[in-house]
Amino acid sequence: MSMRKLTTTCCIAGGGPAGIMLGFLLARAGVDTVVLEKHADFFRDFRGDTIHPTTIDLIDQLGLREKFDAIRQSHIHTLDVVVNGNRLTPVNFSKLRGRNDYIALMPQWDFLSLLAEEGATYPNFHLMMGATATGLLHKGERVSGIAAATQDGDIEIEAALTVAADGRDSALRDAAGLVPTDYGVAIDVLWFRLPRTKVDPPDTLAYLDTESMIITIPREGYYQSGLLIPKGDFAKIQDDGIPAFRARIVRVAPFLAEVVESITGWDQVKLLTVQVNRLSQWWQDGLLCIGDAAHAMSPAFGVGINYAIQDAVAAANLLVDDLRAGSVSTDELARVQKRRLPPVARMQPIQLRLHDVVAKPGGGGFLANPMTWWQRSIAAIALPILRLFTARIVGRGFRPEVLEKQLNPR
Ligand SMILES: Cc1cc2nc3c(=O)[nH]c(=O)nc-3n(C[C@H](O)[C@H](O)[C@H](O)COP(=O)(O)OP(=O)(O)OC[C@H]3O[C@@H](n4cnc5c(N)ncnc54)[C@H](O)[C@@H]3O)c2cc1C
């Protein structure tokens, strides 16, 4: 079969939050854009279902609120954690200004489908599902597009700008020889679903004790649950058997005793590796990395999707004029990194610190049950102060991005 060749203005590898949002924004602004997604649909493993207030603000800006609200979702206004039996509320989004003072929880595939469907209403948006980016094309030193494998054979796509939005294991980043610095997180997460209990406790992000930490994201009809384990311990946990796994869950979150029997085999439990890393340079001539391809975020505070989307908005704001003109300089690509690196470089250490101290198996050991008088006193003083900052840092991020006027539809 002969090699198919296409030409576009911006070719994006990866149909996750970063890639789909960037493709949609550029196509909406009149820039011809191809997005390649290696899966045939968006219905993938759990990859985080959180839509943060800044992203909901963006949905308002895009005029998609009605369609967004029509997606089945639940809302959480606080991030409660139960530490050794003591309920704490370190984050309360009602402290945020504006109407979007909550996190929406919805299946990521529904959110991506909404953006893809909206993108498809613009003639410049070309989403190729089941298309895997396999390498970069070059013209001299400059990256000039993507080589990809599709269901209909191999294809080469020439582009003024190539974007690697292909996630933490980015093939394009590897092809460019860009190597992220890894900051070494010592945990992984085992994800599984548990049915909701007959009497729901208040919405709770996580339960911690001196042995384990379990995430219990409240979803309609189930808890999206995750057990934090030391990196590399999954085989040992499997050897200990399902009854021991269930017992561990119940020890840290006793209210789950009535539903934990629903886990009957390891096929219901998915290992997801946690990474925190970032590139020192997010770009080369003709190439830009965004989202997890530039900086893998851990699940702590569930901000990775929001950061990926904010990268897409910043890139679209900064590059759209050059893309309309048909070429993007390295200075402009460097400006994208300059804009987005500071919020990433401030958030990642917070995630790492959280994993060092609390968000790890046994991290709940710092509180007695019941709390000692001085622990109660410190909590009474510290938590209200903490809440003044956390809602903003978690909900809106260090540098929330908004659509600038150059992105208006053309
Ligand atoms: C266990 C775990 C739980 C998490 N929970 C949350 C959470 O609750 N909330 C949150 O905000 N963040 C969470 N995160 C982080 C979040 O998943 C990422 O930060 C976010 O998805 C990054 O978005 P992205 O678009 O950059 O990359 P991704 O979401 O990884 O999307 C990349 C896309 O590229 C596609 N792709 C990959 N390779 C190719 C290729 N060669 N060619 C074409 N397509 C390709 C993939 O199929 C995928 O669709 C979690 C992370 C982990 C590990």
Q: Domain limits of the chain?
A: 4-183+275-360+392-401, 187-273
166: Cβ below 6 Å to ligand 1?
yes
The whole-angstrom separation of Cα 272 and Cα 331 is: 36
- The correct CATH number of 4-183+275-360+392-401 out of 3.40.50.720, 3.40.50.1950, 1.10.150.20, 3.50.50.60 is 3.50.50.60
Res. 383: pLDDT tops 80? yes
Let me know the angle formed at the C-alpha of 190 by 343 and 103, rounded to the nearest 5 degrees: 45
Tokens matching residue 222:
């189930």
Q: Determine the residue type at 77.
A: H
Q: What is the pLDDT of residues 235-273, one digit of tens each?
A: 999 999 999 999 999 999 999 999 999 999 999 999 999
Atom 3 (ligand 1) nearest CA: 299
Res. 2: pLDDT tops 70? no
**Rounded average pLDDT over 308-331:** 97
Beta strands 153-164 and 181-182, pairing class? unpaired
Tokens matching residue 402:
């908004």
The whole-angstrom separation of Cα 138 and Cα 158 is: 9
Atom 41 (ligand 1) nearest CA: 133
Residue 49 CA, closest ligand 1 atom number: 8
The whole-angstrom separation of Cα 185 and Cα 169 is: 16
Res. 47: pLDDT tops 80? no
What pLDDT sits at residue 39?
94
Res. 385: pLDDT tops 90? no
Q: What is the pLDDT of residues 180-237, one digit of tens each?
A: 999 999 999 999 999 999 988 888 999 999 999 999 988 888 999 999 999 999 999 9
**Rounded average pLDDT over 84-88:** 92
The whole-angstrom separation of Cα 249 and Cα 184 is: 26
Query: Which band of pLDDT confidence, cut at 50, 70 and 90, is reported for residue 290?
Result: very high
107: Cβ below 6 Å to ligand 1?
no
Res. 1: pLDDT tops 60? no
Residue 297 CA, closest ligand 1 atom number: 19
- Residue 159: C-alpha distances to residues 147, 171, 284 (Å): 11, 18, 14
Average pLDDT, the chain: 94
**Rounded average pLDDT over 6-13:** 98
Nearest CA to 160 out of 347, 281, 333 is that of 333
Query: Which band of pLDDT confidence, cut at 50, 70 and 90, is reported for residue 21?
Result: very high
E strand intervals along 109-221: 125-129, 132-139, 142-150, 153-164, 181-182, 187-195, 206-208, 213-219
